[in-house]
Amino acid sequence: MKTRVLLLLALLLAGCGDDDATENPAGEAGQASPAPPPDAGTQAGHGADPGRVVVPEHDPSPPSATITLARADGTTLAETSQPEQGSHPDTVTLDEPALRGTTTGHDADGGVARVRVSLREEIDCRAADGAYRRLRTRYFPPPQVERIRSSPGARLPTRARRSLPLSLSEERCHGGRLAAVHGELWGEAINGSGLEAVTPHLRFVYEAD
């Protein structure tokens, strides 16, 4: 009888030892394993991402910006940048009342917070009682009251692009018909510190049949 009691006690003690080992996977140190770094889910961590940069406390240099004017099918007709590089035609002639505007911003030091495409039109209309002109300016995205500025330490892309198909404002000739549109296309880029670059304006004209 005494032998059976001792055997039962030995079995109970062995079972308790197994439970303790299962509940403490940290091993001899008795501490949990450290949590993985926040960037462990990326290939090399955000700090090694060549496409993004940390917004600095102070950034005296503005970004660069490029505006491209293309046909609706994407064929490039003119391009210019800020800072300016090379030359561009004085006026581009469109063969249809549509175009594609593309703004590309770049800032390797402060990142790009926003890029914008802007279009201004002078719309010449004709009606039975004479000719008249309409004006229209559009911004994509629309202007904001608040200054665009990112918090230091935020991560922003070093390059950003906005490309839009744009139809000219034929519908503005209420009661008349469109004769021609003389317009300007330009781009804007703003970096993480709120500094901006505005491209020179690309002029274009469309004349209806």
* Cα–chain center distance at 60: 21
Q: Which domain holds residue 169?
A: 53-207
Q: What is the pLDDT of residue 92?
A: 96
Instruction: Give the pLDDT band of residue 14 (cuts 50, 70, 90).
Output: very low
Task: Give the residue-averaged pLDDT of 134-163.
Answer: 88
- β pairing state of 202-207 and 177-191: antiparallel
The yes-or-no verdict on residue 39 having pLDDT over 50 is no
* pTM of the shown model: 0.73
The answer to whether residues 166 and 100 touch, using CB atoms and an 8 Å cutoff, is yes
pLDDT digits (tens, 9 = 90+) for 82-91: 998 777 778 9
Question: What does pLDDT average to over the chain?
Answer: 80
**CA separation, residue 50 to residues 67, 123, 157 (Å):** 24, 45, 9
Task: Give the residue-averaged pLDDT of 175-190.
Answer: 95
The yes-or-no verdict on residue 123 having pLDDT over 60 is yes
Higher-confidence residue: 31 or 124?
A: 124
**Is the residue at 110 inside a domain?**
yes
- Number of domains the chain contains: 1
Instruction: Tell me the residue type at 81.
Output: S
User: In sequence order, what DSSP letters do the residues of 163-200 get, joined into one string?
Assistant: EEEEE--GGG-TTSEEEEEEEEEEEEEEETTS-EEEPP
The CATH number of whichever domain residue 83 belongs to comes to 2.70.50
**Is the residue at 85 inside a domain?**
yes
Q: What is the pLDDT of residue 144?
A: 75
**Is the residue at 158 inside a domain?**
yes
**Which residues of the chain form beta strands (DSSP E)?**
52-54, 64-70, 76-82, 91-94, 98-106, 112-127, 130-140, 155-157, 159-167, 177-191, 196-198, 202-207
pLDDT digits (tens, 9 = 90+) for 108-118: 999 999 999 99
pLDDT digits (tens, 9 = 90+) for 53-87: 988 888 889 999 999 999 999 999 999 999 987 77
The yes-or-no verdict on residue 157 having pLDDT over 70 is yes
Q: How far apart are CA 93 and CA 203, in angstroms?
A: 9
**Is the residue at 8 inside a domain?**
no
